[in-house]
Amino acid sequence: MTASPRHLLVSERFRTIQGEGRSVGMPAVFLRLGGCNLRCAWCDTKYTWDWSQYDRAKETSKQTIEDVARGVASEGPGRLVVTGGEPMLQQNGLVALAAALEALGAARTWEVETAGTIAPTPAMRRVVAQWNVSPKLSGSGNDPERAVRPDVLRAFAALDHAWFKFVVGDEDEADEAMALAAAHGVRADRVLLMPQATDAEAYRARAPAVVDWALSRGVGFSPRAHVAIWGGRRGV
Ligand code: SF4
């Protein structure tokens, strides 16, 4: 039997609202983990993984599961949104975190933000109330074989509580998102299109077109409240 992990590689933790997806606007504690297995050109959290630009020792810290649990509990009630980076790289540690939170009497409703390249274990599936899966399209600049894992996408598509957010920069990407969803069994009523933007000005310029693309394809639109309200600021 594999020993339960004792640490998580943490980037940051803060209390805010969920800015994207189905539960946008809900109060939440964000726990951002370090490390990612993809390399999106427009990534707005490169400080979690791009050690050619950022100092890993300054940007991340290896924390015991118990310390992470105490930190999350200290932020008060609300959802726990685990993000990254790619938090699924540390899913066994997250299962241990759920147990530690429960032991503190601080169990949370969990959301996990993931690019959908790593399938959840049965234990992880029991922890998470809502999956926010954001498969990366060709415009992300990733190697398609790394970014699109058909077996994993199908596994998420089969979960009742998985939503798919696609970051789109143009209408071709909206079509690519729809094709990707259809090819992997993702129901249209679980698809949200979200504008690609890392600052408020770009967001405002692109969002109306993305709403039109979503409506004409019978899928939803996801705002990016953090970008609209705070631009590219960290920790909000
Ligand atoms: S998957 Fe997410 S964290 Fe990783 S590079 Fe892409 S946008 Fe950044």
* pTM of the shown model: 0.95
Can you say whether residue 147 is alpha, beta or left, with left for phi > 0 and alpha for psi between -120 and 50 degrees?
A: alpha
Domain coordinates in residue numbering, the chain: 7-136+143-230
Give residues with Cβ within 8 angstroms of 32, minimum separation 6.
10, 11, 12, 13, 45, 48, 83, 84, 85
Atom 3 in ligand 1: residue holding the nearest Cα: 85
Cα 89 to ligand 1 centroid, rounded to whole Å:
12
User: Closest Cα to atom 2, ligand 1: which residue?
Assistant: 85
**Which architecture characterizes domain 7-136+143-230 according to CATH?**
Alpha-Beta Barrel (3.20)
Ligand 1, residues at Cβ distance < 6 Å: 36, 38-40, 43, 45, 84-86, 115, 136
What would the pLDDT profile of 95-146 be if each residue is shown by its tens digit?
Answer: 999 999 999 999 999 999 999 999 999 999 999 999 999 999 999 999 999 9
Residue nearest to atom 7 of ligand 1 (CA): 43
**Angle 133-134-139 from CA coordinates, rounded to 5°:** 165
Residuewise pLDDT in 10s, the chain (236 residues)? 556 799 999 999 999 999 999 999 999 999 999 999 999 999 989 999 999 999 999 999 999 999 999 999 999 888 999 999 999 999 999 999 999 999 999 999 999 999 999 999 999 999 999 999 999 999 999 999 999 999 999 999 999 999 999 999 999 999 999 999 999 999 999 999 999 998 999 999 999 999 999 999 999 999 999 999 998 788 87
